[in-house]
Structure 1
Amino acid sequence: MGGERVSVQPILQRQVPLTGDRVSRFVSYTFVAALPEMLLEYLESPTPYLMGVLSDLPDVDAVMVDLDIGEVRLPTNSELPELPSPFRERLVIRLQMVLSPELATADLAIPAALPPPLEPHLLDKEIRACFVLFFSELLYGYRSCLEVVRLHRHPLIVFHKAAFMGMRRLNSPLLHELIEGQMFQLFVTNRGLPFRECDIFDEVVCSATMENYDLGSDEEKQRMTMIRDSLLMNEKQERIMTTTPQNLSRKISLCVLNGDKPGDGDPRSLDNDKIDALIEDNRLQWNLDDPGRIQPKVGDRVIVFTVFASVDP
């Protein structure tokens, strides 16, 4: 069984432990944890997972992936559905273009010069671009099978599975199992609402096509590069938005009855007596104790200054 079939197991709500003799084989992957030996009982969890475990692993009812020898072991009396054609072939070709670009010119008498290898963060984004294209082609046209019911406070989104399978004309057990799962229901709930901000997947799935064009063409490479750059830009924006500046101070503007204007130097500290006097003066000025009076009293002119005080977070 190829690795492309293993890659879709988490969205099919299956457990996939990754085994190996060295922790470094699986801690480098995103969303994969190195499970300590004392927590091996978590492998019996009924929820889907993708965990890294050392080779001394008890028998569990899950799809086992041995990273040392590249072997995939299935649980007893279990079968994994095949990826439908031609989506599987397209995914494999794109992954080969990213991971083994030399295969494209290996049979030529004079192989062309290969570009320099990608940096790890760019390679990661190109692999993600391959799967974005794979799922966009697999789920192409899903929005035309959505129905939004607005009779409730929160809109109810209904996905017509029979209409989707009939429109795609695919007799695929994997696709049928996919749209029946909770992961796809969550996908529809989050992405089915209209008038929301579009993202990379929305743009790609709208332009997806099943025409038999050359996947090794420059146009396809540019398409993958565009998706890669978009993913990279999104990641940079998320880092900027989640970064909390350090050593910040907050300034609070206070209106107090004070005859001295603060200087341009350091902000002055808060004075509790002046704050209490300010509150009391405003209560008298606006007659807050009298509910029938909403107009301020006309009195002597009051000169108001602004004091800036610093409050450390």
Structure 2
Amino acid sequence: MATKQQAAATPVKPLSIAEQALQHSVYFDASTCEIKGDVVQLAAAWRSGHGPVSKQEAGLLLWHHCHRGEDGQTEVAAAGVVNSCLATLNSQDATTADKSIAAGILLTLCQADDKHKQAVVRAKAGPDSCCQVLHACLACRECSPRHVVALLASLASHPTSRAVLLKALQGAVPWPMYCQLLASSSKDHATAISTADFVRSLVAGHEALAVEAAAAGLLQALLGCAASHKSAAAVAAAAACLQAFCEASPDSRAKLGEGPGAIQILVDLLGPLLQPLLPGSSRSTSTSSSHPHPQQQQRWQHSHSLLT
């Protein structure tokens, strides 16, 4: 049996789409709710908090319908669930569970089809935009950041919805918040991956944003993630984000070499992915993968100490 220390050190593995669908299918099959197959009635109960089922159960059942494929997703979107999910995320009266369900529904829709990204990113909760609502959730930690950050990353992955996000931020991108998410996600690699993916989408090809983010500490936060994280996928996501910084801004390339041991850490842990982009780096490596070799994990703790 694993000790508490071992359990605490085990990174949280995100569920695949198929695993999520199976999980929600089990809940749906076990439900005795008489209206569980009626998306319109479930949407009304989710929106109002009243009806033959609780708001939470209605939300979970709607989430199941989102995993039924295109037909289920179309039904859920047509029933006005996008706006009611955003309203739930923006409500001071909604529970943490309700907010997590709302973020999960929106994420599932956005991951399924780009047309849902456009509907979600343009939705509003009163005067507040989708972007404002999601960042407010992250700032006050009213629900788990995992689905919220993944939702932002999904929206930013499409050029049209990314432009809407940046316009809503009005030139005040909260880079320190993203640094904090990277620093606090050592036991949740899903959040680390989504945060790195989100930042990468924002700075890729945008020199001004890359310079802003670097000045706010994102390079150091990403280096810290790459040096200390136990998840190879999180390390690879941090590496890809650092590469986007280097390609977008010569200033970022210079800053990467300023930290003590930074170049050595990047070459040792990340292989050749960033080596051609790093200033003063001529060392060759034997690996051709951006993922660290398992034996390199023993050096992560030492590398992390060089950055702090």
Structure with the largest fraction of strand: 1
TM category (shorter chain) comes to under 0.3
Structure number with greater CO (CA < 8 Å, separation at least 6) is 1
Q: Give the alignment's TM-score, normalised by structure 1.
A: 0.21
Structure with the largest fraction of helix: 2
Q: Give the alignment's TM-score, normalised by structure 2.
A: 0.21
